[in-house]
Amino acid sequence: MPQTKPDILSILRGEHVRFLRLQFTDILGLNKNVEVPASQFEKALDGEIMFDGSSIEGFTRIEESDMLLKPDYDTFVVFPDELEDPRRGRVARLICDVAKPDGTPFEGDPRGILKRQIERLQKLGFDNLYAGPEPEFFLFTRTPEGLPTTETHDAAGYFDLAPIDKGEEARRDMVNVLVAMGFEIEASHHEVAPGQHEIDFKYTDALKAADNITTFKFVVKRVALTHGLHATFMPKPIAGISGSGMHMHLSLFKKGENAFFDPKGQHQLSKTALHFIGGLLEHADGMVAITNPLVNSYKRLTPGYEAPTNIAWSASNRSAMIRVPARRGVGTRAELRMPDPSCNPYLALAVMIGAGLDGIEGRIEPPPPIQRNIYQMSVRDRRKHRVRELPGTLREALEALQKDRVVRNALGEHAYEHFLRAKRIEWDSYRIAVHQWELDQYLAEY
Ligand code: ADP
Ligand code: MG
Ligand code: MG
Ligand code: MG
Ligand code: MG
């Protein structure tokens, strides 16, 4: 990876790059970019490219409309030719931090918000939070006009070795492009539902993991398009079959060693791990609006599809919100299972760190792990085991967010207020819509 401006300039020249894309995300996690031609490369690398922030969701404050893009040189990559047709000129990208005209970081920039949380944990002596995401998505066909459908091509199930179909072909190309862009792919497979896929990449530090997730979503959508397919990270596109999650494997490292592992600890977990898990459980309701931000997210969080509905942890059971996989040593980790891939990965990781650090600082002991299938526990049993329910709708999630100081502090006032405002509008527009379900139930009957 090039570290210096001269390195990057010489690659840009050597590879005949014609356009440089300066990327960042809005508060909803949508990829935004400003593309500059070769004449502007130096200026771009110096962080002097300005854009109008008032047109970006969550950045909207008139007095702050001019913003600067400060590139992170470590994120430099030339797009492989499968991604951008080289006949129109080669394209490279840099992921950027957003700054105000005076050069100071913009408080509402999701990447900056995550960086602030990482700094907090580094002040406590940790190297970093390591995160391994497992994003799932659907591949659907498009109409002849190019509009997305919810139809799939395949009839294959989990891990099936079906004869190669369009979806498999597309997924293989996605993996090739991701590898060419420096991803270390650990696994790629068909998921439970028809048309559903998962690609897992190797865990890395929180900032890079969030950058990777944004890049991943962009690549998956783009490659699907070249196959005439539509890739969607919508959490529950079809009722009655599995939705798409994005489990997040998390561990803290200190002085190069996994700080979650303690061979003598309870479950061979350190106090740090237990308290971190305690914090995640404590703030799960407050966090869920960020990790599961759509009206539709809560249609995935229903019993029976390996998506959690209760706030509990387990050493093995996949119905729990946090699972601690059996691996110990360097692979010791907690798997947070409620997030879905529609979240803004920067904000999601920021609130995970905020919640986990609150657990460490407040020495929050998690309740005992639940080893049974939680879907099958009675209400009384759940109460006895201190198992709370996750918010069941976006509205409940927003109410929980409002009450959670720790999560709000992790986001910062600017992002919190803008997020809440945007999501209230989304909820209201859903609430007043008349859905097909209501017509099916009531139109004839009443
Ligand atoms: P599952 O059994 O839930 O399908 P996988 O084995 O597919 O889990 O996913 C494992 C994920 O965990 C990968 O992204 C991997 O890189 C990540 N991982 C492995 N070790 C660690 C660690 N110490 N910290 C964080 N993530 C890790
Ligand atoms: Mg997996
Ligand atoms: Mg697996
Ligand atoms: Mg999966
Ligand atoms: Mg998993």
Same domain for 279 and 419: yes
User: Would 111 be classed as within a structural domain?
Assistant: no
Packing angle of the helix pair 345-361, 110-123 (nearest 10 deg) = 20
Same domain for 156 and 72: no
Same domain for 371 and 316: yes
Mutate to test the pocket of ligand 1, among 128, 183, 200, 204 (most ligand atoms within 8 A of CB): 200
Active-site residue numbers? 52, 134, 136, 191, 198, 247, 318, 335, 337
Same domain for 92 and 177: no
Among 83, 106, 129, identify where a domain stops: 106
User: Would 403 be classed as within a structural domain?
Assistant: yes
Quick one: tokens of 27? 């508060």
Q: Does 186 show up as a binding residue in the annotation?
A: yes
Same domain for 215 and 82: no
Mutate to test the pocket of ligand 1, among 249, 269, 277, 352 (most ligand atoms within 8 A of CB): 249
Q: Does 318 show up as a binding residue in the annotation?
A: yes
70-113 pLDDT, tens digit each? 999 999 999 999 888 888 889 999 999 999 999 999 999 999 99
Same domain for 409 and 263: yes
Among 73, 106, 139, identify where a domain stops: 106
Q: Does 250 show up as a binding residue in the annotation?
A: yes
Give start and end residues of each alpha helix (H) in 201-265: 206-226
On the question of pLDDT at 161 being above 70, the answer is no
Same domain for 165 and 51: no
Same domain for 158 and 33: no
User: Would 443 be classed as within a structural domain?
Assistant: no
Residue by residue, DSSP assigns 41-62 as: HHHHHTT-EEEEGGGSTTT--G
> In angstroms, rounded to a whole number, what is the distance separating the alpha carbons of residues 222 and 213?
14
Q: HSE-up of 142 (CA within 13 Å, CB side)?
A: 14
197-233 pLDDT, tens digit each? 999 999 999 999 999 999 999 999 999 999 999 999 9
User: Would 442 be classed as within a structural domain?
Assistant: no
Same domain for 129 and 80: no
User: Would 42 be classed as within a structural domain?
Assistant: yes
Write down the pTM of the prediction.
0.95
Q: Of 98, 71, 22, which Cα lies nearest the Cα of 414?
A: 98
350-365 mean pLDDT? 98
Q: What CATH number is attached to the domain comprising 394?
A: 3.30.590.10
**Band of pLDDT at residue 1, cut at 50, 70 and 90:** low
pLDDT the model gives residue 384: 81
Q: What CATH number is attached to the domain comprising 9?
A: 3.10.20.70
Q: Of 266, 281, 226, which Cα lies nearest the Cα of 84?
A: 226
State the total domains in the chain: 2
> In angstroms, rounded to a whole number, what is the distance separating the alpha carbons of residues 313 and 159?
27
Could you report the predicted ipTM of this complex, rounded to two decimals? 0.96
Among 106, 139, 173, identify where a domain stops: 106
pLDDT the model gives residue 102: 92
Same domain for 214 and 283: yes
Q: 72-75 long-range contacts, Cβ below 8 Å, gap at least 24? A: 72/96, 72/97, 73/1, 73/2, 73/3, 73/4, 73/5, 73/8, 73/45, 74/1, 74/3, 74/208, 75/211
pLDDT the model gives residue 154: 65
The CA 5 to ligand 1 mean position distance, Å, reads 34
224-266 pLDDT, tens digit each? 999 999 999 999 999 999 999 999 999 999 999 999 999 999 9
User: Would 376 be classed as within a structural domain?
Assistant: yes
Same domain for 99 and 171: no
Instruction: Give the other-Cβ count within 10 Å of 289's Cβ.
Output: 27
Q: What is the domain range of residue 125?
A: 116-436
Q: What is the atom index within ligand 1 of the atom nearest the CA of 250?
A: 25
Minimum CA distance residue for ligand 1 atom 2: 325
Same domain for 250 and 215: yes
User: Would 445 be classed as within a structural domain?
Assistant: no
User: Would 216 be classed as within a structural domain?
Assistant: yes
Quick one: tokens of 148? 């997305």
